Amino acid sequence: MDVVGVCIAIIAAILGAGYPILLQVTSRLNEKYKSEVVVTLFDKEPIKNRFVNSLFFIALPSVGIYYLAGLVLPEIHSICGNYLLIEKIIAGLLVIATTNLIIQFYHYIRLCMTYYRPEELVKHIKDRHVF
């Protein structure tokens, strides 16, 4: 499997398995703490928003662009003969998008773990939301 195939598999795994599990975990915050305030704080976390934006506005469009380029590049090849540079640039963008998504996913998991440990949550709230 080439690098692009690995990137697409990672994005599919995060979207298909990891993200739904984390959504389920975060939806149980209300049950755990019996407070909408904690859920509201979690929803406003920049880490959560960066992950969601990374997934839906960077990684998935990158996969779409790669597949669309696969449809268009043979036509470009028949016209100008050299499309390898374009293909390499698009593959490089996909690798960068996947790397960014993996980093954001890691931070999102750490945030979920913080919100599930009361002691760490209190420390996090004190550090982030100074009273």
Highest mean pLDDT among 25-39, 81-95, 109-123: 109-123
Number of domains the chain is built from: 1
Percent of the chain past pLDDT 70, that is, above it, reads 92
Q: Is residue 129 part of a domain?
A: yes
Q: Is residue 33 part of a domain?
A: no
pLDDT of residue 74: 76
Q: Is residue 79 part of a domain?
A: yes
Q: Which domain holds residue 109?
A: 1-7+55-131
131 or 49, which is more confident = 49
Cβ proximity of 26 and 18 under 8 Å: no
**Which H/E stretch holds residue 83?**
none
Q: Is residue 111 part of a domain?
A: yes
- In angstroms and rounded to an integer, the radius of gyration of the C-alpha atoms of the chain is 19
